[in-house]
Structure 1
Amino acid sequence: METTGTEPDPWTGVLLAGGRSSRMGRDKAHLAWRGQTLLAHACATLRTAGAANVIVSGHYPECAGIPDAEPGLGPLGGLASVVQAMPDGVLVVVPVDMPLLTPALLQLLASQDATACVAYRDHILPMRLRLDDRCRTAIARLVDDPAARRSLRALHEALGGEFIPAPTEHLAELVNCNTPQQWEAAAP
Structure 2
Amino acid sequence: MEVSQWTGIILAGGQSSRMGTNKALLELNGSSVMTHIVKAIRPAVSRIIVAAGPNEAIYSLMGDERFECIQDDYAGKGPLAGLHAALKVSSTDWNLVSACDMPLLQTSFFDGLKKLAEQYPTSSAIVPCVEDRIHPLAGVYHRRILPGLEQCLIHDRLRVTRWLEQIGCRYVETAELEQAGVLRPELQLSNMNTPEEFEHVRLRLHGSDSSPLA
Alignment-derived partner of residue 3 in structure 1: none
How far the C-alpha of 1:152 sits from its partner, in A, is 3.1
Specify every segment of 5 or more residues in structure 2 that has no aligned partner in the other structure, as ranges: 62-66, 206-214
130, 138, 153: which one pairs with 1:143? 153
**TM-score after normalising by structure 1:** 0.87
1:99-114 mapped onto 2 (5 Å cutoff): 99-112=103-116, 113=118, 114=120
| Equivalent residues of 1:74, 1:151 under 8 A apart | no
Q: Distance in 1 between matches of 2:162 and 2:29?
A: 34
The one-character-per-residue Cα deviations of 1:160-184 (angstroms, maximum 9, x if unpaired) are: 0110113372211111100000000
Q: Distance in 2 between matches of 1:152 and 1:51?
A: 24
SS at match of 2:40: helix
| Equivalent residues of 1:8, 1:111 under 8 A apart | no
Q: Which deviates the most, 78-87 or 177-186?
A: 78-87
19, 28, 45: which one pairs with 1:51? 45
Q: Distance in 1 between matches of 2:91 and 2:36?
A: 25
Specify every segment of 5 or more residues in structure 1 that has no aligned partner in the other structure, as ranges: 1-5
Q: Distance in 1 between matches of 2:142 and 2:68?
A: 23
SS at match of 1:119: strand
The one-character-per-residue Cα deviations of 1:113-158 (angstroms, maximum 9, x if unpaired) are: 32110011122231101113xx111110110113x2x133233222
For residue 79 of structure 1, what is the amino acid of its counterpart? L
81, 91, 98: which one pairs with 2:95? 91
Q: Which deviates the most, 161-170 or 91-100?
A: 161-170
* Runs (4+) off by over 6 Å: none
Change (3 A) 1:36 1:174: same
How far the C-alpha of 1:87 sits from its partner, in A, is 2.8
Residue 73 (str. 1) matches residue 77 (str. 2): yes
RMSD over equivalenced CA pairs, Å? 1.8
Residue 170 (str. 1) matches residue 193 (str. 2): no
| Equivalent residues of 1:68, 1:78 under 8 A apart | yes
**TM-score after normalising by structure 2:** 0.77
How far the C-alpha of 1:64 sits from its partner, in A, is 2.8
